[in-house]
Structure 1
Amino acid sequence: MSSLYRNRYIGVAVRGLAMGAADVVPGVSGGTIAFITGIYQELLDSLSRIGPHTLTILFKQGIAAAWRYINGTFLLALFSGVLISIFSLAKVISYLLASYPIVVWGFFFGLILASVVPIARRVPNWTWQCWLALVLGGALAILVSEMRPTEIVATPYTLFFSGALAICAMILPGISGSFILLMIGIYPQVISAVHQMQVSALAWFGAGAVCGLLLFSRLLSWLMHRFPSVTLSFLVGILLGSLKIVWPWKLAAKGVDISGEKLAPMMSNVLPAEFAAVTGQPSFMLGALSAAVAAVLLVLSIEWLHWRHVGNVAHQQ
């Protein structure tokens, strides 16, 4: 493998690390990271190729041809990064959320807000259908944010379907798979299974995630190719609506026990001044704003580097 391709796949693995870290946080989507780092379309297209036709290529042309057809090296690098991040950063992210929630949510607020720019730029013409899709996407995200946690028993079947549902949300920019897990009441069991390496539970959850990923990615890939402007507009709406979930200043929602980590879905949004008055704690306004600005600069820098890379590749060709 040439140094050019080796460096590219190292970069893909790094993107996977960032996606995994985002997916751990209830309220932030790894799909958002994939989009702003310029690999979202390639991810969808690669996943959508995995199916019966892949087996035909495998038997007729061999493993190497099938591997190239599904863009296997790309997927291996990306999901290796995701898995490494989830298993290594889960405790770190949980600690940061518990210890510095306002600063962490400020960073993700800026990250998601800035992510709207590169996605909206890819819509060539904002027709009425695009604006309608944007409104519907925003409404969906706000509706999801209004959900309150329930509780279900972790059985092989519930773990399987939870994995399928979570992974569908996870690859949508703006809707967090871990948020959905929290809402249906199985998030603590999944995190516990990760920490304690409960192989059986992880296997059922992983099987559901794989099935959901392969099916939903096909739908998204088809929509992105057939109706790109409307689909992108819908994603912009989801991102804008999801800002409600990651607003940094929160108080306990009425009738909800939030002992332990301050998780966004269990709390209500307030202004910084109200937060300080009710809790008697600093609002950490400067820290949250600094984190948000840093996230915005990060996204815009990634976008600039992406287009610079695209320009260089086009020039070399």
Structure 2
Amino acid sequence: MRENIPPPGLLAQARLLAAPAVGASVVRGLEEITGHPVEQGFPGTPPEEPFICVGATLPQTLRDGPLVWFHSVNAGTDALLSAGPWPPGVLLTRTVGRMGERIAQYVLAWVLADCQSVPEFAAQHARAEWRRLPSELVSGQTAVIYGTGRIGSAVACLLRACGIRTVGVGRGSRAAPAGFDRVVGAGDDAGPLASARWVVSTLPLTPATAGFFGADRFAGMGGATFINVGRGATVDMRALEAGLHSGAVGGAVLDVLPEEPAAPGDRGWRLPRTVITSHSAGITADADILTDFAACWEALAAGRVPGTAVDVGRGY
């Protein structure tokens, strides 16, 4: 990845382009960080001089120009990488910011709601029904978290603080990152899945993770609640539906779906014991974009690989 790092001299000369949808506060912040004027909007033809782009998408016309660095305002970069071959030698960085905290709070909220029967009480309220329901303690139970990067680790830290045992599933068995009691490889997840109370996915979408949660994994859950805050296309929705009907999956909370937004007739709305939210677990704030862009700018000025640089071969 180091070969993709533009030299500081090139950064100083490069033009700075921001997508039309980038907000005014972000544009002002980019100018303060770089000392460069920001050209709002992507031109129909690429500049002749080296340039930097900030945005969510990269038009093909700009991919063919002397682009040196693209900073994504989103955490996920699958849409960027699936739109066509990534330009050779171009640095790609992404925005994470405090998304890990936001997603961790979202997961914890649904974990607690699960244990306190919040959906059931809400349904009883709508029927004006008074009926006591037992609660369940989270402490001592197990959450299996797929993805052990910054977001997965933030989820694990918050759940572990509540006394939940946290098992991470990563690309290979290794030392456990912050928040995890242990980490196993994807090929060794059958045991943890069977004993989990919650299964949380923070997986990005890559060729290796498309349809990752299929019939075998859902059938191997022992009644766990499945929470997806990663990417919708990592889930085979028919397999999830079968798992919910069989009881192998006790319930589901889906912040992401393979096709978004979900139309009123989408099968997902009719899944039993399932709640769908509108891809809102980790909405990126303007401050997140500026914080991560500034960190990248500082790293590049020092000749270092930014912490949010994307390995385009792996897809994250």
Common topology (TM > 0.5): no
User: Which structure would you say has the larger Rg?
Assistant: 2
Q: Compare the two structures and name the one with the higher helix fraction.
A: 1
How does the TM-score come out when normalised to structure 1? 0.25
Higher RCO by CA contacts (8 Å cutoff, separation 6 or greater): 1
How does the TM-score come out when normalised to structure 2? 0.25
